[in-house]
Structure 1
C-alpha cells in the first residue's frame, strides 16, 4: 500500500473522529438541564409534586432534572441554588423552605442570567417581578373555602383549634388568614387553640394529644394540610375523644381521600400537587426556549372535597 493511500486513510479516520465528536457535542447542547431546589423530600404532599417533575423528566430524553433536598434549611437551599448556578443549569425551579428567604436565591440566579420558576409556595410581589413564573394554587382561597364549609357544618358556632404548618410559609400565612376571615364573619365561632405541627402527621398527633390533655372542648379542628389533620384524627381516636368533632384538612392527597371516604376526615380542599410539578417543569422549558408568559401566576384552583364527591377525586389519582 502506498504511503499516499495510507495518509489518505489516516486523514479519513481523523475526520470521522472529529465529526463524531462534533456530533456528540451538538447532541449534548440539545440537552436541557433543570435544577430543582426542593424544601424537603420527607413530605407526603410534596412527594406528588416531585413525581410530576420526575415523570416529565423520564418522558423527555432531552431534559435532565437535578433535584436536591434542602432538609427544611433555608441556608442549605441557598447553597444548593449557588451550586446550580456554578453548574450553569438552564433554569432553576424553587419550592422554597421559607418564602421570606427566597429573594437572595432569585438574585443569584438572575445575576447569572438563569430563569427561575417558583412552585407551590408563592413569593412576595417584589420577588414575583424577578421570576419567570409561579406555578401553584391560591392558599388564601383554600383556607377560605375550607373554613366556610366547617362554619356551615357547625351552624356558625363552636370552639375550634387551628393547626398551622411550618411558620413563615406563605401557604400557612394565607390559609390561616382565609380561616380567620371566615371566623370574623361568624362571631359565635371561637379559636381557642392555634399552634404549629410543621406539616407533619407525627407532629399533628403530638399536638392534638397535648390539646386533649388541656381538657378544653373542641367542636372542630381546622388544619393547614391533610397530614396534620390525619395526625389529629389518630390522636382523637386513640384517646377515645373523636365523638362529633369536625376535622378539616387541605391538599386532597390519596391518604386523605381514603379518610374522607371512611367518614373520618370531614373536609379537605384538593390541590393538584402532580399538576403543579408538571406545570413547573413545563414553564421551565418555556423559559429556556425564550417563550413569554402573559401571566406570571399559573394558577391551579383548589376544589372542595367532602364525602359526597370524594370518589371523583380518588379517580384523579388513579393511573
Structure 2
C-alpha cells in the first residue's frame, strides 16, 4: 500500500459536531462529542481495497462530502467508512461536512465546496426536495455531484446514486409484518422527520404494501424524528390510550429500540417491533428475542463505494446511473451474521 500522505478534513461550514442523542441509547440532550470521536463500524474480516489505478489519473483529487446528520449512527458509520477508505489513496483529500439535520446547511456547504474548487461532491441528503438545490449549485459550477445513502426529488440533476432504495426498505419491513400478522390486525407506524428523504420513501414503501392488505389498520402514524427517546414517549402515549396494537413498524432502528423500551416497561413483550438500518444495538436486540427484526442498510459499503465513484467522476470517467446496495433482513436465526467481526 502506498504511503499515506492524504489528509482527511472533518468540518462543517462552522464546525462538525457529533451529537450522541441519535445513534446510541443516550438521550438527545447529552453534551455533543467532537467530530473526531465518530467511531468506525467494526471492519469486516476482509476490508475493501482500492485498485492502484483508481485515483491515478489526477495528481490530487479533492472530494467534498455533505452529510445529512452525523448524529445519526447509520450516517456516522457511512461517513467514517468513507474517511477510512479514502486514506488508502495518497492523492485524495476528503472534506466531510455535517449538515446537522438542516437543508440550509447542506446548501451552504455545497456553495463552500464550489468556492474551494473541489473535484467532486457527494451529498448524503437530509431533505428530499431542498437538496435538489444543493446539487444544482454544484452542477452550475461544473462540478460532478451525486447522492449517497438517500435519494432527492429530481435525480436527473445528479450523476448517480450510491446506496440502498429506502422505498424497498419500507416494503420489506411492512411485508414481513403483514405476513407475521396473517394479513390482518392493528399496527402503528413510527416515522422519521417529515419531509426527510429516507422517511418519505420508507413510508411510501410501507403504504404500497398496505394497499394489498385492507384488513390491516394503521391506528397511529407519527414522527419521532429518528430519536430513541422520542419514539419511547410516543409509544408510551399510545399505550396509555388503550389501543389494541398488534405490531409496530418503525422507520429506523433507534426508534424501534425506543418503542421496545416503552413496551417492556409496560410489561408488554408479545408485540412485534421492526426497524431499519441494522445498527449493532438492534441486531443484539433481535438476537435476544426483543425486537422482532431489522432491515440492514449496509452503510459501510455505501461509504466505500461512494469514494470510488467520486474518484471516477473527478477523473472524467463515465459512471453507472445507480449503484444499488441491497437491504438484508435480520432475524433471530441469522443475527450473528450481522454482528461486528471481533
Whether TM exceeds 0.5 here: the answer is yes
Equivalent runs, 1:73-112 vs 2, <5 Å: 73-112=102-141
**Residues 1:239 and 2:266 are matched in the alignment:** yes
Aligned to 1:40: 69
**Residues 1:299 and 2:324 are matched in the alignment:** yes
Aligned to 2:32: none
Give the CA deviation at 1:243. Answer: 2.8
Give the CA deviation at 1:150. Answer: 0.9
Give the CA deviation at 1:169. Answer: 2.0
CA distance in structure 1 between the partners assigned to 2:113 and 2:324 by the alignment: 26
Q: Which runs of 5+ in 2 are unaligned?
A: 1-57
Aligned to 1:289: 315
Match of 1:262 among 288, 297, 308: 288
Conserved? CA contact 2:193–2:223, under 8 Å: yes
Aligned to 1:180: 207
Give the CA deviation at 1:272. Answer: 0.4
**Residues 1:193 and 2:216 are matched in the alignment:** no
Match of 2:338 among 287, 298, 313: 313
Aligned to 1:63: 92
Aligned to 2:279: 253
Structure 1: which 4+ aligned runs deviate by more than 4 Å? none
Give the CA deviation at 1:61. Answer: 2.4
Match of 1:277 among 299, 303, 326: 303
How far does the alpha carbon of each residue in 1:107-148 deviate from its partner, in whole angstroms, 9 at most, with x for none?
Answer: 211121111021111123xx3222121111111211112111
Aligned to 2:146: 117
CA distance in structure 2 between the partners assigned to 1:187 and 1:219 by the alignment: 15
**Structure having the larger proportion of residues in helix:** 1
Classify the secondary structure of the residue corresponding to 2:90.
Answer: coil
CA distance in structure 1 between the partners assigned to 2:174 and 2:132 by the alignment: 31
Q: RMSD of the alignment, in Å?
A: 1.6
**Residues 1:162 and 2:189 are matched in the alignment:** yes
Give the CA deviation at 1:288. Answer: 0.5
Classify the secondary structure of the residue corresponding to 1:229.
Answer: helix
Match of 2:230 among 185, 203, 212: 203
CA distance in structure 1 between the partners assigned to 2:227 and 2:147 by the alignment: 22
Give the CA deviation at 1:264. Answer: 0.6
CA distance in structure 1 between the partners assigned to 2:169 and 2:126 by the alignment: 20
Conserved? CA contact 2:149–2:162, under 8 Å: yes
Task: Report how many residues are paired.
Answer: 286
Give the CA deviation at 1:104. Answer: 1.6
Conserved? CA contact 1:256–1:265, under 8 Å: yes
Give the CA deviation at 1:197. Answer: 0.7
CA distance in structure 1 between the partners assigned to 2:224 and 2:115 by the alignment: 36
Aligned to 1:3: none
TM-score (norm 2): 0.80
Classify the secondary structure of the residue corresponding to 2:129.
Answer: helix
Q: Higher mean Cα deviation, 175-184 or 250-259?
A: 175-184
Classify the secondary structure of the residue corresponding to 2:146.
Answer: strand
How far does the alpha carbon of each residue in 1:243-281 deviate from its partner, in whole angstroms, 9 at most, with x for none?
Answer: 310101111111111011001110111110111111111
Match of 1:142 among 169, 177, 180: 169
Classify the secondary structure of the residue corresponding to 1:190.
Answer: strand
Conserved? CA contact 1:146–1:179, under 8 Å: yes
CA distance in structure 2 between the partners assigned to 1:96 and 1:178 by the alignment: 19
CA distance in structure 2 between the partners assigned to 1:102 and 1:167 by the alignment: 15
How far does the alpha carbon of each residue in 1:182-214 deviate from its partner, in whole angstroms, 9 at most, with x for none?
Answer: 222222211000000111112111211221222
CA distance in structure 1 between the partners assigned to 2:221 and 2:111 by the alignment: 37
